[in-house]
């Protein structure tokens, strides 16, 4: 019998982390009548948060894992070419090697990536509608825009070169509309003539300001009765396999359940709960051009550079890149500069304005598991601790469904989706102390 089967109706739950996942978990747990404390050392929605800096897309089509068949052949190129969308720092390679090998194996066959696409689809299928509802509940409905999402390619051949990715989307009931050059430029007149073919994902949406959105969700949780503790969690008081408290630098927090939703910092906490998660940071960068010469009606993803372009409240956001290196390593701001260079090449009007524009640069850490799926569900070493981390590139978009799933598991209710694909038990090497 699961510990949830006999759980009291109201529990004291500590949620570690007030990013998009932690905020969504808190709101859903409050909805179920639990007492919730959010533990967060930084500002909710602040620049230290991964969800602060993404491309601001809410796309049901973000179901394609980073690791795909044949990727291993490109690793030498990525090591040598600093202009590629994915880069690795040589010095970090020995430490990253266990993650990298498992990452490549996770995408080594079509069957494996099909399974991951199905798992991610369950998390993302209703994402735009859930975000609209959550934003309205928090009093910020204007932050979620539902005008679709656009993928721009140099030509149809470039689109067809990604046949497997789009086949996976089609197999998971994701539909789209093809655009010829004229239709593409009517929808996105700002984009340069380099792009002659487009895909319009009409059910997609975007967020005008992810940081402000997350901060509003946390504020809403507090208004609904949650406590926000500005502290850093360091571990757990577990006695005879039973959770008694969460340990923080502000003291112990007695609780009945705990949720680890601390992004990249979840790895150390998960180990204390009995799970050795092979998770590393896929660093992402963005630049924001303040007061740009145009505003995009629909966010655009360039098919050739894999860069997302979105008009936000702060300005024109250019986001992308994957950099693999050690966590303590200093940012390589040349990665952000390359984003800006790509943006100027894609948008001619932008190139004319950047000499006088104010440019913001940002770097964050995507918490990425080897198979591209988050870790959601009970910890191995303590049934009262629940994992809610490792969302990689889909943290913002998958927040509402992830929060509902975790709350369902804690409340002992039939879960909103099948939790098995995200369970820590899927990792054959998992056990605290193992590599």
Say which CATH number the domain at 131 has.
Answer: 3.50.50.60
Structural domain containing residue 173: 12-426
Question: What pLDDT is stored for residue 77 in this prediction?
Answer: 75
Question: What is the pLDDT at residue 284?
Answer: 94
**Total of domains in the chain:** 1
> pLDDT tens-digit profile of 47-76?
999 989 999 999 999 999 999 999 888 777
Mean of the pLDDT values across residues 411-427? 96
- Does a structural domain hold residue 162? yes
> If we measure between CA atoms, which residue out of 48, 68, 154, 66 comes closest to residue 111?
68
Residue 75 lies in a domain: yes
2 in a structural domain: no
Residue 3 lies in a domain: no
Q: Kindly report the backbone phi and psi dihedral angles of residue 420, in degrees, each rounded to the nearest multiple of 5, phi listed first.
A: -55, -40
Average pLDDT over residues 370-395: 97
Taking only the tens place, the pLDDT of each residue in 166-210 is 999 999 999 999 999 999 999 999 999 999 999 999 999 999 999
What digits encode the pLDDT tens for the residues 207-258?
999 999 999 999 999 999 999 999 999 999 999 999 999 999 999 999 999 9
- The verdict on residue 187 lying in a domain is yes
Tokens of 355: 């000499």
How many CB atoms sit inside 10 A of residue 418's CB?
12
C-alpha span between 210 and 228 (Å, rounded): 19
Q: How far apart are the first and last CA of the chain?
A: 30
Structural domain includes residue 5: no
Q: Indicate yes or no: pTM above 0.85.
A: yes
Q: Residue 238: inside a domain, yes or no?
A: yes
pLDDT tens-digit readout, 116-134? 999 999 999 999 999 999 9
Buried b (16+ CB within 10 A) or exposed e, 162-173: bebbbebbeebe
For residue 5, the model assigns a pLDDT of 44
Residue in 405, 398, 289, 417 with CA at minimum distance from that of residue 346: 289
**Which tens digit of pLDDT belongs to each residue from 348-374?**
999 888 777 789 999 999 999 999 999
State residue 353's pLDDT score.
Answer: 80
- What are the CA-CA distances from residue 18 to residues 43, 169, 283, 312 (Å)? 8, 31, 20, 22
Burial class for 399, CB neighbours closer than 10 Å (0-12, 13-18, 19+): buried
Q: Determine the 3-state secondary structure of 63 from DSSP.
A: coil
> pLDDT, tens digit, for every residue of 255-278?
999 999 999 999 999 999 999 999
Asked if the structure places residue 435 within a domain, the reply is: no
């Amino acid at each position: 019998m699961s510990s949830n089967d006999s759980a009291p109706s109201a529990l004291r739950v500590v949620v570690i982390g007030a990013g998009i996942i932690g905020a969504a978990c808190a709101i859903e747990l409050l909805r179920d009548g639990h007492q919730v404390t959010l533990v967060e050392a930084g500002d909710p929605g602040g620049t230290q948060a991964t969800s602060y800096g993404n491309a601001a897309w809410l796309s049901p089509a973000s179901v394609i894992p980073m690791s795909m068949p044949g990727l291993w052949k490109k690793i030498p190129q990525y090591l040598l070419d600093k202009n590629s969308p994915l880069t690795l720092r040589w010095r970090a390679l020995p430490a990253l090697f266990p993650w990298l090998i498992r990452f490549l194996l996770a995408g080594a066959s079509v069957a494996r990536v099909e399974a991951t696409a199905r798992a991610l689809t369950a998390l993302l299928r209703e994402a735009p509608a859930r975000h609209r509802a959550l934003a309205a509940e928090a009093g910020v409905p204007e932050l979620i825009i539902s005008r679709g999402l656009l993928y721009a390619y140099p030509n149809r051949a470039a689109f067809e070169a990604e046949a497997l990715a789009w086949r996976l989307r089609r197999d998971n009931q994701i539909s789209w509309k093809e655009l010829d050059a004229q239709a593409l430029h009517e929808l996105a007149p700002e984009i340069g003539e380099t792009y002659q073919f487009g895909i319009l994902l009409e059910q997609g949406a975007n967020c005008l300001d992810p940081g402000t959105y997350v901060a509003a969700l946390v504020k809403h949780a507090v208004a609904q009765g949650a406590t926000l503790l500005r502290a850093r969690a360091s571990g757990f008081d577990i006695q005879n396999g039973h959770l008694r408290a969460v340990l923080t630098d502000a003291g112990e927090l007695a609780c009945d359940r705990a949720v680890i939703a601390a992004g990249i910092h979840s790895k150390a906490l998960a180990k204390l709960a009995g799970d050795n998660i092979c998770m590393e940071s896929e660093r992402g960068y963005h630049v924001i051009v303040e007061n740009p010469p145009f505003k995009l009606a629909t966010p655009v993803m360039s098919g050739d550079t894999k860069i997302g372009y979105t008009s936000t409240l702060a300005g024109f956001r250019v986001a992308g890149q994957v950099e693999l290196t050690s966590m303590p390593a200093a940012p390589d701001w040349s990665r952000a500069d390359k984003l800006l260079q790509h943006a100027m090449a894609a948008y001619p009007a932008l190139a004319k304005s950047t000499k006088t524009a104010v440019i913001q640069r940002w770097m964050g850490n995507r918490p990425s598991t080897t198979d591209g799926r988050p870790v959601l569900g009970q910890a191995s070493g303590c049934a009262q601790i629940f994992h809610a981390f490792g969302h990689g590139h889909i943290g913002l978009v998958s927040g509402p469904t992830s929060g509902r799933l975790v709350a369902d598991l804690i409340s002992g209710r039939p879960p909103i989706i099948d939790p098995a694909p995200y369970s820590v038990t899927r990792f054959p090497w998992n056990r605290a102390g193992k590599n």
